[in-house]
Structure 1
Amino acid sequence: MKGGAVPDFSLKHRVTVHYTGSFEDGEVFDTTQGRAPLTYIEGNHEVVPGFEVAVLSMEPGEKKTVRLEPKDAYGEHDPHLLYVMPTIDIPHYEDLVPGQLIYLMNDEGYQQLTRVIRVEDDGETLFDFNHPMAGHTLTFDLELVSREPYTGEEA
């Protein structure tokens, strides 16, 4: 992909990359430094879209820093994903702590991760089903370790 060539999207690659992800205030939320790098298959939606696009233009050994707006990362915070229910209807509600991540059963019978926002003993409990990093601008320091053809035949 030297010289600004466009990658061939009909061919998939196994990508291995080191990264450090941080919020706008500089707080690091995840890093592969000191551990094994991240490996994923291009085009399989295994990483956020902006991350994948940034890595597509890199050569092995190259390093760069990218800033991802929410739309290119975990999306904007959607107020429609806030859910209120009477606290009295929640078993063991006294164990809930604002900020805590828990699983709740949705209408289709599947468990979904949610964050507890507010618990009122004599009122309502507010849950947020947005991804915890929705609405955040993220910065990634990237280093492409390798990009190898992927046939899908590996175990």
Structure 2
Amino acid sequence: MADYSLKHVVTVHYTGSFDDGEVFDTTRGRTPLTYVEGNHEVVPGFEAAVLSMQPGQTKKVHLEPKDAYGERSAALVYYMPTIQIPNYEDLVPGEMIYLMNSDGYQQLARVVKVEDDGDTVFDFNHPMAGCALNFELELLSREPYLPDTEKKEDRADA
């Protein structure tokens, strides 16, 4: 039985698809994904599925939106009078752009609509919010996580 009480670095190959079979991402044919368990580096359902796996094991999982990128939220759709946007004519519906929020941080948003005489609509939901996702997983390895401070100490002793 593996020890899951400590954090681990896991390396996994995956293929992600929507319910209609369209593949949105895969590590097959390229470098596998490596992340630290418990650091919220992947969606919750992905991490939970991998957590129960042993190295060498494969698994197929179906994630509902709540276990992936969450449900879409109408509160994350923002309307702004187009006339207030500098260079609004350069905005293209469907493109992803960074906008500054009121706290001075950049946030990624999708341009939904641009109307010369009306509003421009920005959607701050993750592009896959509201989507069920499917993953084919293969756990390649699970190794103890050593924070940078421990790694530096280990190197000093060597």
Q: Distance in 2 between matches of 1:154 and 1:85?
A: 49
Cα offset for 1:24? 1.3
Paired position in structure 2 for 1:83: 78
Q: Any unmatched runs of 5+ in structure 1?
A: none
Q: Distance in 2 between matches of 1:32 and 1:146?
A: 15
Q: Distance in 2 between matches of 1:11 and 1:73?
A: 24
Residues 6-155 of structure 1 correspond to what in structure 2 (within 5 A)? 8=4, 10-152=5-147, 153-154=150-151
Cα offset for 1:135? 0.5
Cα offset for 1:27? 1.0
Q: Any unmatched runs of 5+ in structure 2?
A: 153-158
1:94 is paired with a residue whose SS is: helix
Q: TM (normalized to structure 1)?
A: 0.93
Q: Which amino acid aligns with 2:51?
A: L
Q: Number of paired residues?
A: 150
Q: Distance in 2 between matches of 1:89 and 1:26?
A: 41
Q: Percent of aligned pairs with the same residue?
A: 73
1:52 is paired with a residue whose SS is: helix
Q: Distance in 1 between matches of 2:78 and 2:121?
A: 6
Two-structure CA RMSD over aligned residues (Å): 1.3
Higher helix residue share: 2
Q: Which amino acid aligns with 1:16?
A: T
Q: Which amino acid aligns with 1:35?
A: R
Q: TM (normalized to structure 2)?
A: 0.91
State the Cα deviation string for residues 89-137 of structure 1 (Å, max 9, x = none).
1111111111110001100111110001111111100100111111000
